[in-house]
Amino acid sequence: IVKNFAPAAKKKGLSISSKMASSTDCYITCDLFRLRQIIDNLLGNAIKFTDKGDVSLSANIIGSSLNLIIKDSGRGISQEEQEVIFEEFARLKNATGIEGSGLGLSIVSKITNLMGGEISLSSSPDKGTSFFVTIPIEIVEEPNIDSSQHDDIEPQPANTLISHSILKIVIVDDDPIQLKY
Ligand code: ADP
């Protein structure tokens, strides 16, 4: 995920890094699509609302909790604005002139809660923001890939499909960062 965001960070002259604790060197079960959606959204915001400095993603696992910190050195959020930040369509003064819908954080907070997790933040205006996300996970010995379920599907070489124009993909988005992907 951090690699995906590197071009957007570079364009703004920001450094971007990830710190994965050794506790994350394992297999987990979790809704990875949703987990990715949470991190994508928070890292996207971190870059969007940071004009200089750095953004980072840190992760560790304690017991059955995956703990994430998405940190930036950006515009920051005042104490009273932090009260409304997870509400739908909330856009703060710091978002003036920056594209967005004000829906990202409300979706992130709903997904986190539906996954049984928690989200909180610590921020100071002009100093930066850290979002803390805790998601319950289960550590497993081996990845559980049940190949027997896919036995009836005949694999097709993707390049043959594309060269015969059978496979057409249209990707639509109004967010320049997403379009860049
Ligand atoms: P959007 O990014 O589309 O404006 P979000 O729901 O993701 O909507 O965020 C709501 C508002 O919270 C943003 O408009 C911005 O004012 C503020 N915000 C979100 N993330 C950050 C951040 N990392 N630093 C400063 N402000 C932020």
Compute the distance between CA of residue 148 and CA of residue 95 in angstroms, rounded to an integer: 50
Residues 62-91 pLDDT 10s: 999 999 999 999 999 999 999 999 999 888
**Ligand 1 centroid to residue 120 C-alpha, Å:** 14
Average pLDDT over residues 110-131: 96
Sole residue written with tokens 């995956």 = 66
Distance linking the first and last C-alpha atoms of the chain? 11
Q: State which ligand 1 atom lies nearest to the alpha carbon of 92.
A: 16
Return the pLDDT at 80: 93
In short, whether 100's Cβ falls inside 6 Å of ligand 1 is: yes
Pocket test for ligand 1, best of 14, 50, 52, 91 (most atoms within 8 A of CB): 91
In short, whether 95's Cβ falls inside 6 Å of ligand 1 is: yes
Amino acid at 70: I
pLDDT-derived band of residue 151, with 50, 70 and 90 as boundaries? low
**Does the beta carbon of 161 sit less than 6 angstroms from any atom of ligand 1?**
no
In the chain, the DSSP E strands lie at: 15-20, 27-29, 54-62, 65-72, 118-124, 128-136, 138-140
